């Protein structure tokens, strides 16, 4: 009888241990790639950039619905699906009481990682050498983390210059 009780207690302990280890935090709950297409207004930007030896930090908010009231330049992205995992991104900034075209790019999506595959013009909203990670994507919110470390950013002007950055831009669907 003691042996059965010992076996039963051991099985119960094993089941309880498996139960606790099986309950993990699932970060993918905040990413629904079917929601990526649309117009997104920048609401918050925070991070830092290291240019040679100078480090610049920022943390500011914008109101894309009332951009005249914002202290910083408001921006918005219009994202359109081109193929299964390719998107066009048109960037706009608010100036002089109107939204003006900033740039356009083509991005490729793999899981929650975006890669700049083409930039139309001299530059785009996202640096082509940056690692872009979608941290949040729901019907109403989009957060993209932009990160690169020790990258040669302006080889045509200064081939020895290497910069780093890490920031997150948060958007709301407009």
Q: Report how many domains make up the chain.
A: 1
Q: Is residue 43 part of a domain?
A: yes
In whole angstroms, what is the distance from residue 167 CA to residue 174 CA?
A: 22
**Does a structural domain hold residue 13?**
no
**Residues 18 and 99 sit within 8 Å (Cβ to Cβ):** no
Neighbours of 103 (CB within 10 A): 17
The CATH number of the domain where 128 resides is what? 2.40.128.20
Domain assignment present for residue 24? The answer is no
* pLDDT tens-place string over residues 115-152: 998 887 767 899 888 899 999 999 999 999 999 988 77
* 19 backbone dihedrals φ, ψ, rounded to 5°: -60, -45
Question: Which domain does 89 fall in, by range?
Answer: 30-173
What per-residue confidence (pLDDT) applies to 26? 46
Residue 16 forms part of a structural domain? no
Q: How confident is the model at residue 14 (pLDDT cuts 50, 70, 90)?
A: very low
36 occurs within a structural domain: yes
Residue 5 lies in a domain: no
User: Does the residue 78 lie in any domain?
Assistant: yes
CA distance 50 to 163: 6
Whether pTM exceeds 0.85: no
Q: How confident is the model at residue 161 (pLDDT cuts 50, 70, 90)?
A: confident
Do the domain assignments include residue 39? yes
125 within 8 A of 135, measured Cβ to Cβ: no
30-88 residue pLDDT tens:
688 889 999 999 999 999 998 878 999 999 999 999 998 878 889 999 999 999 999 99
Helix (H) or strand (E) holding 11: helix 2-22
């Amino acid at each position: 009888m003691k042996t059965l009780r010992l076996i039963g207690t051991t099985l119960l302990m094993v089941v309880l241990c498996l139960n606790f280890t099986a309950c993990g935090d699932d970060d993918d709950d905040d990413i629904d790639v079917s929601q990526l297409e649309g117009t997104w207004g920048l609401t918050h930007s925070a991070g830092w950039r290291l240019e040679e030896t100078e480090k610049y930090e920022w943390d500011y908010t914008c109101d894309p619905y009332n951009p005249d009231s914002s202290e910083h330049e408001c921006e918005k992205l219009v994202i359109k699906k081109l193929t299964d995992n390719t998107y066009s991104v048109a960037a706009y900034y608010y100036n002089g009481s109107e939204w003006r075209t900033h740039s356009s790019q083509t991005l490729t999506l793999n899981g929650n990682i975006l890669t700049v595959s083409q930039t139309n013009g001299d530059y785009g909203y996202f640096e082509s050498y940056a690692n872009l990670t979608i941290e949040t994507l729901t019907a109403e919110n989009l957060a993209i983390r932009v990160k690169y470390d020790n990258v040669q950013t302006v080889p045509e002007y200064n081939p020895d210059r290497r910069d780093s950055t890490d920031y997150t831009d948060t958007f709301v669907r407009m």
